Copies of this chain bind each other. A is one copy, B any other.
């Protein structure tokens, strides 16, 4: 029995039954021990949850910080997909990220990696943190919603598409809700999964294109006239015109 074993067991239980059903007593039972013995290694339930959260964040595949040749766009995309995967694999993490401080070593390594890539966008410092927030807070919000939807599907014993039908059942008839449905149909994509993949990709495209636009906007008017299509090369070069 040590902190690591306890944290690992907590992650296992959280993955299996979710945050709502997780309790110190159930964890202790899982470890074959009395509820209170866990408190010798851990100050409180919240403390343990923060340990579990950081452990899960340790599974993120971060880019090699030495690889400054790589395209920052590709690296940001990779990090975004990794972050999304985290919330889908460990839905309880997404319920906690918004409420906890999140300064464990793995969380810090992640944001450090993100900052390293962001520096290579060519964005000036005052805009860099805002653009970073645009990207990663989007991924957090999107993935949280997505993961909780999946959770409700599992709880109801339905596929994502079946569950969507039942939701539309509750909504149909109310005039104002119907064009919500039309919008989805117009968007194309026959399954929930397809629509979600497309929306996520498009949103990433949107935010990355926005970063390019912000970078261009910091050029002089003359620069812009010479380079009307925006920076199609790594925008690093925009820093030293």
A residues sitting closer than 8 Å to B (CB atoms) are 94-95, 97-101, 103, 105, 108-109, 111-112, 115, 125-131, 133-134, 136-142, 144-145, 148, 152, 167, 170-171, 174, 176-177, 179-180, 183-184, 186-189, 195, 198-214, 217, 224, 228-230
Contacts and interface: CB of A to CB of B under 8 A. Distances in A.
Contacts of A125: 183, 186-188
Contact of A98 (B115, B129, B141, B206): B141
A32 to B, nearest CB: 30
B214 A206 contact: yes
Copies in the complex: 2
Contacts of A167: 101, 103
A179 to B, nearest CB: 7
A99 B133 contact: no
Contact of A130 (B95, B109, B198, B230): B198
- What DSSP secondary structure best describes chain A's contact surface? helix
